[in-house]
Amino acid sequence: MPQKTALIIAESFSDNVGDQAIAYAMRQALEDREYAVKNIDYTGKLQKSRNTSKPISNKFWRNLKHRLRLLIGFFWAIKNLPIIWDTAIKQYDLVIVGGGQLILDNSKFPLALYLWIKLLGRNNGNIYVVSCGVGESFCWIEKILIKKALRQSKGIYFRDIRSIENAQRNFGVNAKYCPDIAYYLSKNIPSKQNVNRAYVLGLSIIDYRVYIRHASEMSISPLSEADYINKWAENVVTHVRAGEHVALISTTEVDQRYSEEVFSKVQNTCGDKVSLYPKAENWNNFIIQLSSCDSLLSGRMHGLILAHISGVRPIPYLVNKKVEAFSDEYLSKSLDEILLNIDLVLNEIS
3-state secondary structure the chain: CCCEEEEEEECCCCCCHHHHHHHHHHHHHHHCCCEEEEEEECCCCCCCCCCCCCCCCCHHHHHHHHHCHHHHHHHHHHHHHHHHHHHHCCCCCEEEECCEEEECCCCCHHHHHHHHHHHHCCCCCCEEEEEEEECCCCCHHHHHHHHHHHHHCCEEEECCHHHHHHHHHHHCCCCEECCCHHHHHHHHCCCCCCCCCCCEEEECCCCHHHHHHCCCCCCCCCCCHHHHHHHHHHHHHHHHHCCCEEEECCCCHHHHHHHHHHHHHHHHHHHHHEEECCCCCCHHHHHHHHCCCCEEEECCHHHHHHHHHHCCEEEECCCCHHHHHHHHHCCCCCHHHHHHHHHHHHHHHC
Averaged pLDDT, 276-289: 94
Q: Is residue 176 predicted with pLDDT exceeding 80?
A: yes
Averaged pLDDT, 39-67: 63
Burial 124-133 (b: 16+ CB within 10 A, else e): bebbbbbbbb
For residue 221, how many other CB atoms are within 10 A of its CB? Answer: 6
Averaged pLDDT, 238-261: 95
CA angle 304–283–336, rounded 5-degree value: 55
**Closest CA relative to residue 95, chosen from 147, 153, 14:** 153
Write the pLDDT tens digit of every residue in 185-214. 999 887 665 555 678 999 999 999 999 989
- Cα–Cα distances (Å) from 191 to 109, 188, 288, 312, 316, in that order, read 36, 10, 12, 9, 20
The distance of Cα 97 from the centroid of its chain, to the nearest Å, equals: 14
Q: Work out the pLDDT band at 87, boundaries 50, 70, 90.
A: very high
What is the pLDDT, as a whole number, of residue 64? 53
For residue 174, how many other CB atoms are within 10 A of its CB? Answer: 10
pTM: 0.91
Rounded Cα–Cα distance for residues 307 and 286 (Å): 9
Q: For residue 311, is it left (φ>0), alpha (ψ between -120 and 50) or beta?
A: left
Pick from 77-81, 247-251, 274-278: least confident: 77-81
Looking at residue 227, its amino acid is D
Looking at residue 226, its amino acid is A
Q: Is residue 14 predicted with pLDDT exceeding 70?
A: yes
- Determine contact, residues 269/239, Cβ cutoff 8 Å: no
Strand pairing category for 155-158 and 200-203: unpaired
Q: Which residues contact 63 (CB under 8 A, 6 or more apart)?
A: none
Q: Work out the pLDDT band at 122, boundaries 50, 70, 90.
A: very high
What is the pLDDT, as a whole number, of residue 109? 92
HSE (side-chain half, CA atoms, 13 Å) at 226: 1
Q: Is residue 49 predicted with pLDDT exceeding 70?
A: no
Write the pLDDT tens digit of every residue in 337-346. 999 999 999 9
- Strand-pairing partners, residue 10, are 41
Q: Is residue 57 predicted with pLDDT exceeding 80?
A: no
Q: Work out the pLDDT band at 71, boundaries 50, 70, 90.
A: confident
Q: Is residue 239 predicted with pLDDT exceeding 90?
A: yes
Averaged pLDDT, 271-276: 95
Averaged pLDDT, 27-49: 87
Question: How would you class 78 by CB atoms within 10 Å of its CB: exposed for 0-12, middle for 13-18, buried for 19 or more?
Answer: exposed
Nearest-10 Cα torsion for 316, 321, 325, 326:
-40
- Identify the structural domains of the chain with CATH numbers, from first to last: 4-184+338-349 (3.40.50), 186-333 (3.40.50)
Averaged pLDDT, 130-145: 94
